[in-house]
Every structure is written in C-alpha cells, then in structure tokens.
Structure 1
Amino acid sequence: MLGSCVTLFMAIMAVICSIGSASDPDPLQDFCVAVDDSKAAVFVNGNICKDPEIVTPNDFFVSGLNQVGNISSPFGTEVTRIFINRLPGLNTLGISLARIDYAPYGLNPPHVHPRASEILVVMEGTLYVGFTTSNPQNSTMRNKLFAKILHPGDVYVFPRGLIHFQYNIGKGNAVAFASLNSQNPGVITLANALFGSEPPLSSDVLAKAFQLDTKIVKYLQSVPWIPN
C-alpha cells in the first residue's frame, strides 16, 4: 500500500514539474503580430535555421574587432555589434558581443537592453559607468544609481532592462568589449526614443513628464537624434 502511494506521489510530482518547466521562449523582437493567413511569409521569433548540410566554419567566424570604430559622431562613440547579421552561428545560442570605442569624453548615452544583461570589460582608457534601479516600491525613495570608475582589466555588469551608460573621463581614447546574453538584446536609447520618435510624442506629455517648458521640449524634438 505504501509503495503504491509513493509511486502515485512521484507520478504526480513528475507531471507538476513537467508543466512548470514548459514555457514559451523569451521574445527576441519587440513584437510579433499574429496573422491568420496561410500564405503569409514566415517570420519566426529569431531566424530560420540554415540546412546543417550546407553549414560551414565561416558561419561561426567573424573578424575585424581589432579595428577602431568611427568615433567622430556627436556622442564620440561607436558600437560595433556582433549579432547574427554578422555572425549567423549565434542564432539560438542566446549570446552576442560588441566592441565600444570612445573618443576623449565620448559617451555611450543612457540606454536599455530589454532582452539582455550585459557584462563589460575595459581594455583601454578610463570609463565612468553605471546603472539605475527600477522605481522603488516605497514612493518616498528615489531610483538608486550604482556607478564606478573603471580602468583596463576592470569588469562591470549591467542587469537586464535597467538604464545604464558609459562615459570616457580620460584624455585619450578608450575601448571596451561587452557581452550580452541574447542574440538580439535590443537597444532603447532614451533620448532618441523620447525626443526623436516618428511620429513625435506629444510635446505636452514630454513637458509634463520632464517638468520642462513646452518650448524646450519642442526644441529637443527638432534636434536630429542619431542612433549610436
């Protein structure tokens, strides 16, 4: 009798565990609108897999990360991304890589990766980096900043979905490498998204959100915001 009860208990636990471990994968794009059309083009959450019979070593290889990026932009930075458009073998592996070059006082502006955490290692120069926490549950508290000055060989982690930045505070160029735990982490540069969206966000909404005069908001919306 005891043996049958133990067997039944184990069977029930196995079913519960199997249900608990079954779930959809994390999204790899901003949205995926369903279509009721059998002739619609295939657009999967990620990329379609290449036939294994025609896969080559070059599908897992990319070069050029020793090249300095163009740091003449207004931000003074260049992000060289190694995503699946450059390295197809990354597909389904849940990882990606980027090289970030900084001019003196160059800034990788506050941004968010909605689908990935990031680990950054400084190779050259001196960076001031940090991230802010999400809104605290206690309304009397403020979002907390975690920031630090990094030197060559230093490593810093930015948790998934939190606003973060890197700023070159040195007088020379700086270089860092970032690894992310998604093949398509996504990037939302806050200033670009809020003041440079198309069509533009309501200036009244932005003025109230940032407690600014509407004229200042309209000026900011007139500035040509560039991707980084």
Structure 2
Amino acid sequence: MQFTSAIVFAILAYTNTVMATPVPTSTAVATPPATTTLSLTQQLFLSDTAVDRFKLLPNNDDFVFSFNQDQKGAGKGGRLIAANRKTFPALVGSGSGMAVGFVGACGMNTLHVHPRATELQVVVQGRLVTEMVPENGVNNPDGTPRVISNTVNAFEMTPFYQGSVHTQFNPDCTDAVFVASFNSEDFGAGQIANETFAVGNDVIAATFGQSINGADIDKIRAAIPASIALGVEECLMKCNIKKN
C-alpha cells in the first residue's frame, strides 16, 4: 500500500495536534493517609527491621519501666507488677519479660501457671516459701505427685518451669520482695483456683468426686481471693492479722 503526499501530510498534522493538546490536570483533592489504629506494640511487631523499631521509640525514657506503680485488682496480701510487651513496648523483639512482686506479711501468690515462659525468681527482700508441681508423672517413690518445696532467702533463686503449677508464700510479719525474669515478652499467668471454678458445676462436682454440691461451689467461687492473697492461718495469728 502506498501513501500519497496528501495523506502523509494529513497524518503528520493530526499527530502534531494530538501531541500538542494539553492533558487536563485532575482537580480532585488528594486523600490523606488514614490514621493508624494500631497500638505501639503492634507497630513494633510489623516493623521491617530492628532499626525501624528504634524509630518508633524516639525518646530515651521509652526504654525505662517503673515497677513503682499500683497493680489493678491487687489482692490484700500485696501486689505484682509485670513488664511485658504490652505494658513495656520496648520489649518487642527481646524475647524477655520481668515482674516484681511485693508480698506483704503472710501474703501468698496463689497457685498459678505461666503458659508461655519459664520463670527465674530471685528474692531480694525477706524470704519466701515456694512450692512447685512440675507435671503429671513427676512422682515421689511412693507414686504420689512430687511437690518441690523450698524456703528461698534473700538473693537466692529458684526456677518455675513453663506450665508448672507453683506458689510463693511469705511466712514472716515483714514484707518480702521478689524479682522474676521470663523468657517471653508475653509470659501470661493463670490462677488455678479461678480457672478451675470458672467451668460448669457438673464438671467441678465430677472433678472433686461429687464431694461438693452446687451451692457450695458457688460459695467457693465467691470466696476465691485475688492474688496476692493473705496466707495461712498460723502466720496470720503470729502476726496478729485478722483473718477474712
């Protein structure tokens, strides 16, 4: 196919006209980026690198956590303050957490477990009587479950293994303080009594061999104290502390 000179000139003229026509600019207003609803802990988790995490913690005091604070829902026997990745976002990426327990006279950190961490506990003031039941199958020679009991004095340490049932009790009339480290930023805790009596009455009755009825179960539920609780009667009498 051959083009005549007239056709060629017509094509070139049309092309030049199209190219010279200005492209209209959009009058739409740019939409601003949406404000994030993520918590600081979540933003730290989503950071591409550790360098990016530090940019989200611009202040030096972002790396300081104070245990000198009140515990919400503390029991009558003391208080426990936990530093985890929610209460202390700088822990994100560290794989570590910590708690400090202030256990009053005759106070008891009631039976509990940590579902995601092993605890290393150091007593830094006073002393604590500790007990731990590791798991099914850890038995005494007579076949009964082994309970690892110790009196831990100031600047002595004991471990509580992940998932083990354990407790600490202050047998004295003066305050005790412990520091606990965990190999998790989210170690968690579950109080055994609270969790046991949270299930249905029929399950509880069967668990205890039908030795308690529904009315008694409700009374027990209502009487379960918040941790840290006031402890054994002998200590309460020795320290002249009125029993609840």
What is the TM-score with the length of structure 1 in the denominator?
A: 0.69
Structure showing greater radius of gyration is 2
Q: Name the counterpart of 2:61.
A: 58
Q: Name the counterpart of 2:115.
A: 114
**More RCO (CA 8 Å, sep 6+):** 2
Q: Name the counterpart of 2:18.
A: none
Q: Distance between the aligned counterparts of 2:70 and 2:126, measured in 1?
A: 15
Q: Name the counterpart of 1:184.
A: 186
Q: Name the counterpart of 2:212.
A: 213
Q: Name the counterpart of 2:143.
A: 141
Paired residues in the alignment total 179
After the TM superposition, which segments of 4 or more aligned residues of structure 1 sit over 6 Å from their partners? none
Report deviation, 1:171: 1.4
Q: Distance between the aligned counterparts of 1:135 and 1:75, measured in 2?
A: 32
Residue segments in structure 2 that go unaligned for 5+ positions in a row: 1-35, 229-244
Report deviation, 1:89: 1.2
Residue segments in structure 1 that go unaligned for 5+ positions in a row: 1-40
* Identity percentage of aligned residues: 24
Aligned-CA RMSD value: 2.9
Q: Distance between the aligned counterparts of 2:116 and 2:85, measured in 1?
A: 15
Q: Name the counterpart of 2:43.
A: 48
The CA deviation string for residues 26-83 of structure 1, in whole angstroms up to 9 with x for no partner, is xxxxxxxxxxxxxxx999xx83325443432333222x33x3757x954502111111
Q: Distance between the aligned counterparts of 2:168 and 2:150, measured in 1?
A: 10
Q: Please identify, of 172-181 and 214-223, the stretch whose mean Cα deviation from structure 2 is larger.
A: 214-223
Alignment of 1:76-225 (within 5 A): 76-136=77-137, 141-195=143-197, 197=198, 201-211=199-209, 212-214=211-213, 215-223=215-223
Contact (CA 8 Å) 1:75, 1:107: kept in 2 or not?
Answer: no
Q: What letter is aligned with 2:149?
A: A
The CA deviation string for residues 84-126 of structure 1, in whole angstroms up to 9 with x for no partner, is 2232110121100111001111000000001000000001112
Contact (CA 8 Å) 1:135, 1:142: kept in 2 or not?
Answer: no
Q: Distance between the aligned counterparts of 1:179 and 1:91, measured in 2?
A: 15
Q: What letter is aligned with 1:154?
A: E
Contact (CA 8 Å) 1:81, 1:97: kept in 2 or not?
Answer: yes
